[in-house]
């Protein structure tokens, strides 16, 4: 196996360097503390960090704050940072569906969740199979297949949307969630295969060979040996396809049309926004309910996210 | 076939008649032997994914190319009028349309501003994260992560509200600031989204940088962790400034990462759709279109919709991206991505 540079094997090396680096930096910091000039520098770095963090957080803070404000505070001539009289009214009207007029936010939440989870399942399974082929076998067109994936992942959905719309209309797959799942799963495949390939390649071939000698079938080797070992990789690609499907806009916008009951969250928020009337309280409440779950999700998976995506970015 | 089975170590040497499942196992082994003999395994594993990619990504691309040379529209879909080849008519009418050049200009200018801005902001934050204490770095990276996690549609609607002339916090803040700082424009109730393309794209640029710099920052940070701390420390002890350390040590070492990040940023910023859709209030202001919105308008929002025209624009769009992609692929291959 000539792939020491693959994603997973790089991770322990990076971790080791980080740990060493931290250690030497800590002693260096101790030395630094003795000198006040350096201390002042650390303080200004911290101040800069706080400034950046606050600037970055402000839009999200404002979204949540607006969502809890009663109408007269939202349009007040002197806006206040926090709601003076916090209210759940905006959330109530979003949940009852009376302001948007097309249904409760829970309906769209359910649609988004169904599409996202189905996409993750299908994309994970197909990309796992394909990545085994690419990482474990040498066959004709292997290199061309990999280059094809790189190019295909760059084709923007905008360029394909016309043909997709016509094809899926013929198949009667517009205005339902199945059509979205098919497109999203296929869109997630190129990157998922690229990412998983690195994970599969790091699993020692000897494990599989030993199992084969013991009489295990190919299918059994796949499920009992390869699958558990490649699980971290699957988690990374699942995160990727989850985010892609949860955020996707142009295909859902085009496919779902006026079928309000099939709207996913981004289309619901867009519809709500486009209705006019500037109901900013309820719109921000809807945005908050769309945003907060995925933000929490990011925070939970942050370690895998950074490792997986940078591996994906650097290695393609 | 029989010969192959004899060579299978997994096949039982003597059959045990009467055991349930025996038959299935044997035919399974025979199938396995067939797959092995013709080395079919990789193709079988590849088939489902390849079918998905071919049907949903490759075939539509071929269709778009075909449409771009036809008069394809609603009449042709229903069969009310025949589909005709029109040569390069769709392309010539696209190139003759000033709206196209306007949208191309908007797209390119946005990328020219946003790509360097994102890379610089992301690199600065990445360098900062590398030098902050543990708790402070966790705080800043959590904030950045939250901006990154925000779905584009949510972020776009949120920024629309921030700059809204009716109660938006940005106009209020600007109107309270002294004139020598923010100019003498009457900022109260200033309309960012419909006054002109420039104002709308200022909002879009800030929005895109806000969402994209965290990815650059964590990628740069991941790269920085591979730079030996001793190297940087030694340079600093020798009296090198941070500026010099970055350009003489960090940047050369991280150059491959920067190159990939640059190409990815260019591609992403050319593809912006959701954010510009919301901020420009599609299909309201045609002078605020970027290429994606222009394409979408021609294909779906115009009456009658012209899939041929949309296909021609999509092809031009895809070709521009292909040029960038080739750069990306070549970089990846040169970094040994195919091994």
* A266 with B278: Cβ contact below 8 A: no
DSSP 3-state of B339: coil
Listed in sequence order, the DSSP H helices in B285-335 are: 291-296, 307-334
Report how far residue B308's alpha carbon sits from residue B305's, in angstroms, rounded to the nearest whole number: 9
Closest CA to B332 of A23, A207, A194: A194
* B295 with A310: Cβ contact below 8 A: no
What pLDDT score does A215 carry?
A: 84
What pLDDT score does B284 carry?
A: 77
A83–chain B Cβ distance below 8 A for any pair = no
Beta-carbon contacts of B293 under 8 Å, excluding residues fewer than 6 positions away, are B103, B273, B276, B277, B280, B282, B283
A106–chain B Cβ distance below 8 A for any pair = no
Number of neighbouring beta carbons within 10 Å of residue B14: 5
Q: What is the mean pLDDT of residues A245-274?
A: 95
More confident of the two residues B37 and A259:
A259
Q: In percent, how much of chain A has pLDDT > 70? A: 84
C-alpha distance from B180 to closest chain A C-alpha (Å): 22
CATH architecture of A105-315: Orthogonal Bundle (1.10)
Report how far residue B235's alpha carbon sits from residue B104's, in angstroms, rounded to the nearest whole number: 45
What pLDDT score does B12 carry?
A: 43
A7–chain B Cβ distance below 8 A for any pair = no
- For chain A, report the end-to-end CA distance as a whole number of angstroms: 20
Number of neighbouring beta carbons within 10 Å of residue A41: 14
- Whether cis (ω within 30° of 0) applies to the bond prior to A295 is no
Which chain B residues are within 8 Å of A60, Cβ to Cβ?
146-147, 150, 158
Interface of A with B in 222-241 (CB under 8 A): none
pTM of the shown model: 0.85
* A278 with B164: Cβ contact below 8 A: yes
Identify the residue whose tokens are 């340079």: B235
Interface of A with B in 123-162 (CB under 8 A): 125-127, 129-130, 132-134, 136-137, 139, 142-143, 145-152, 154-162
Output the CA–CA distances (angstroms, integers) from residue A209 to A205, A214, B28, B141, B191, in the order listed: 6, 9, 19, 43, 68
Query: What does the pLDDT look like over A1-43, one tens digit per residue?
Result: 233 333 322 233 333 333 334 444 555 555 554 455 567 778 8
CATH no. of B98-334: 1.10.3720.10
A215–chain B Cβ distance below 8 A for any pair = yes
Contact status, residue B296 vs residue A158, Cβ threshold 8 Å: yes
Regions of chain B with pLDDT less than 70: 1-28, 337-339
Which chain A residues are within 8 Å of B159, Cβ to Cβ?
59
* B148 with A298: Cβ contact below 8 A: yes
pLDDT over 90 at A115, yes or no: yes
Query: What does the pLDDT look like over B296-305, one tens digit per residue?
Result: 999 998 878 8
* Domain assignments of chain B as residue spans, ordered by start: 1-39, 98-334
Closest residue to A159, CB basis, from B43, B64, B257: B64
DSSP 3-state of B302: coil
A81–chain B Cβ distance below 8 A for any pair = no
Which pair of tokens denotes residue A98? 């009376």
* Domain assignments of chain A as residue spans, ordered by start: 105-315
Beta-carbon contacts of A61 under 8 Å, excluding residues fewer than 6 positions away, are none
Instruction: State the best of A122, A124, A155 to mutate against chain B, taking most chain B CBs within 10 Å.
Output: A155
Contact status, residue A285 vs residue A67, Cβ threshold 8 Å: yes
pLDDT over 90 at A308, yes or no: no
DSSP 3-state of B80: coil
Instruction: Report ipTM for this prediction.
Output: 0.85
Q: How confident is the model at residue A314 (pLDDT cuts 50, 70, 90)?
A: very low
pLDDT over 90 at A106, yes or no: yes
* B154 with A269: Cβ contact below 8 A: yes
- Whether cis (ω within 30° of 0) applies to the bond prior to A270 is no
* A126 with B49: Cβ contact below 8 A: yes
Report how far residue B171's alpha carbon sits from residue A50's, in angstroms, rounded to the nearest whole number: 24
Report how far residue B29's alpha carbon sits from residue B8's, in angstroms, rounded to the nearest whole number: 8
Helix-strand-coil split of chain B, %, nearest 5: 75, 0, 25
């Amino acid at each position: 196996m000539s792939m020491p540079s693959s994603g997973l094997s790089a991770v322990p090396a990076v971790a080791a360097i980080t740990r060493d680096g931290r250690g030497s930096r800590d002693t260096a910091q101790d030395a630094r503390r003795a000198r006040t000039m350096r201390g002042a520098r650390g303080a200004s770095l911290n101040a800069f960090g706080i400034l950046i963090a606050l600037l970055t957080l402000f839009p999200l803070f404002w979204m949540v704050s607006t969502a809890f404000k009663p109408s007269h505070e939202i349009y007040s001539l002197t806006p206040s940072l926090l709601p003076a009289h916090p209210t759940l009214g905006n959330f109530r009207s979003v949940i009852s569906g009376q302001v948007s007029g097309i249904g409760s936010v829970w309906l769209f939440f359910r649609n988004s969740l169904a599409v996202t989870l189905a996409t993750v399942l299908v994309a994970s399974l197909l990309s796992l199979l394909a990545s085994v082929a690419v990482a474990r076998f040498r066959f004709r067109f292997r290199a061309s297949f990999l280059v094809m994936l790189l190019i295909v992942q760059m084709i923007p959905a905008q360029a394909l949307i016309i043909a997709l719309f016509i094809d899926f209309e013929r198949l009667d797959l517009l205005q339902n969630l199945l059509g979205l799942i098919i497109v999203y799963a296929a869109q997630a495949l190129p990157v998922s295969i690229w990412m998983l390939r690195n994970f599969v390649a790091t699993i020692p071939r000897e494990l599989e060979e030993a199992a084969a000698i013991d009489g295990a079938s190919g299918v059994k080797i796949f499920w009992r040996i390869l699958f558990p070992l490649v699980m971290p990789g699957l988690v990374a690609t699942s995160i990727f396809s989850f985010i892609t499907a949860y955020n996707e806009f142009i295909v859902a916008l085009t496919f779902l049309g006026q079928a309000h009951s099939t709207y996913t969250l981004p289309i619901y928020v867009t519809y709500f926004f486009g209705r006019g009337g500037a109901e900013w309280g309820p719109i921000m409440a809807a945005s908050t309910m769309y945003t907060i779950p995925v933000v929490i999700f990011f925070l939970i998976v942050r370690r895998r996210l950074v490792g997986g995506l940078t591996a994906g970015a650097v290695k393609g | 076939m029989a010969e192959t089975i004899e060579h299978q170590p997994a096949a039982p040497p003597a059959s045990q008649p009467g055991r349930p499942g025996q038959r299935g196992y044997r035919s399974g082994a025979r199938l396995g032997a067939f797959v092995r003999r013709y080395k079919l395994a990789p193709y079988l594993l590849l088939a489902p994914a390849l079918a998905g990619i071919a049907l949903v990504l490759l075939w539509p691309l071929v269709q778009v190319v075909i449409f771009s040379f036809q008069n394809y529209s609603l009449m042709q879909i229903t069969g009310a009028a025949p589909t005709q080849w029109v040569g390069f008519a769709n392309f010539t009418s696209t190139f003759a349309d000033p709206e196209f050049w306007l949208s191309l200009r908007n797209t390119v200018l946005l990328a020219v501003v946003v790509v360097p801005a994102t890379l610089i902001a992301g690199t600065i934050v990445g360098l900062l994260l590398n030098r902050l204490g543990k708790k402070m770095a966790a705080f800043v990276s959590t904030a950045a992560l939250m901006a990154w996690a925000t779905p584009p549609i949510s972020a776009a609607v949120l920024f629309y509200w921030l700059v809204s002339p009716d109660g938006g916090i940005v106009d209020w803040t600007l109107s309270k600031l002294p004139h020598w700082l923010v100019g003498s424009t009457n900022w109260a109730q200033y309309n960012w989204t419909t006054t002109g393309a420039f104002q709308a794209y200022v909002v879009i640029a800030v929005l895109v940088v806000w969402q994209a710099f965290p990815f650059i920052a964590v990628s740069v940070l991941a790269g920085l962790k591979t730079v030996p701390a001793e190297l940087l420390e030694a340079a600093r002890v020798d009296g090198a400034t941070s500026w010099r350390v970055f350009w003489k040590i960090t940047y050369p070492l991280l150059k491959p990462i920067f190159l990939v990040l640059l190409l990815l940023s260019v591609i992403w910023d050319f593809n912006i759709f959701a954010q510009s859709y919301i901020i420009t209030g599609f299909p309201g202001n045609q002078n605020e279109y970027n290429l994606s919105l222009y394409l979408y308008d021609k294909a779906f929002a115009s009456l009658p919709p012209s899939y041929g025209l949309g296909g021609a624009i999509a092809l031009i769009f895809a070709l521009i991206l292909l040029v960038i992609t080739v750069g990306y692929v070549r970089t990846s291959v040169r970094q040994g991505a195919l091994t």
